[in-house]
Each structure stands twice: as C-alpha cells, then as structure tokens.
Structure 1
Amino acid sequence: MFKLNTQRSYQYPVSVVIFDGEKEQTGKFTATFKVLPNSQIRDPENADKKLLDLVLVGVDGIEVPGEDGRPLQGDALLQALKDDPAVSVALVAAYQESITKKNRPRT
C-alpha cells in the first residue's frame, strides 16, 4: 500500500543566471521546500503571501554577504534570496518543476 506523507519536505537543485554589469554569472545551490496542500495555497488567508514565503524552508550552497560583509544566515538569508528578482524566479521555477517533473506522463 502506498502511504502519503502530507507533511513532507525535500531538497531540490536550483540553477540561477545573474547578470552583473556585463558579466553573466551562473550558479547552482540546493533549496529545501515543504509541500503545501492545494487547499492552503488557495486559502484566502494566504492570498497576500508569495509562494516562496509559504514553501521555502532553507538553502544550502549559496552565500549572500550582509552589510557587515559577513554571510547572512537563517531568515535573513532566505529573505535576501526572495528579494533578488533572478534568484526568486529560479526558486519558484525549481519548486514548480520539482512538483511536476516526476508526475508527468511519459510519451
């Protein structure tokens, strides 16, 4: 019998491309996402929340320096990543791909 864990979280690779001046930087890191039931995504209480605020739990393999030059950690790191347009798009794409990738029918 298949048993579904509705409280699961998992790690998934994230690829990002960032333009810095005339240089293009590519990088990869790992995000930890939690699975959010569809009912919670559509819940009116979450209407003003962004997807990443609901599903992003942590990251590994990426460093963001704070104002003091030291690497950000915890919630400050997550917020910095969600605030960067290129990284936030990459995170959302990775989450959506992780949910749909294995469940697509094979042709």
Structure 2
Amino acid sequence: MFKILYAITTALVMTSLCLAQEQIIDPTKPLNFSAANTAPGDGQQGIQLTSILISSERKIAIINGEALSESQTVKSVGALVKRIDPESVTLQQNGKVWRVALNNTAIRK
C-alpha cells in the first residue's frame, strides 16, 4: 500500500513540475503589446515606440516610457529623435538614421 501511495505521489509531483515549466500566457496583456522595435541591422536594442501625439502646436513620441519631441535624445539608448510622423519616428545615432513604426494593432471603438 505504501509503495502505491508513494508512486502516485511521485507521479503527481513530477507532473506538476512539468506543467510549471510551460510558458503561461497572460490573458490581461494588451493586444497591442509587443517586444521592442528595432531597425534591421543597426544593432540597436530596446527601442519601443508606444504612442505618438500630434497637435497643431507640438509633436510628442513616447519612446521607452519617455515623452520626447523632435531634436531630443532617448536617454536609455542615446538616439536622437529627428522626425515625428503620425505612424512612425525617425531616429539617429552614430551617423545611422532609421525609422521605428508605431505598432497600431489597438482595438478602437
């Protein structure tokens, strides 16, 4: 009886350990969440364009949690904001210029 109980307990523990290693998908994660956008081949890591706000008076891009205007620098990576367009931002660093597109998969009602 003890051997059967031990075998069942061991099987349950091993099964729970295997299930714990599986990646769990967060059902509360926003649909428009994505990993950081990077330009191909430029070696830059960690550029995440979250939002673009454009009015008649100013243009603001939210990059890596920072609210930036044109000609300001993204502190976390040292890239200069050259231009802010409605769907993308143009950045410059070490003589290289690249464009980061806004991930626009949000559901609008």
- If the TM-score is normalised by the length of the shorter chain, which range does it land in? 0.3 to 0.5
Q: Which structure's relative contact order is higher, taking Cα pairs within 8 Å and 6+ residues apart?
A: 1
Between structure 1 and structure 2, the one with the greater Rg is 2
Taking structure 2 as the reference length, the TM-score comes to 0.32
Taking structure 1 as the reference length, the TM-score comes to 0.33
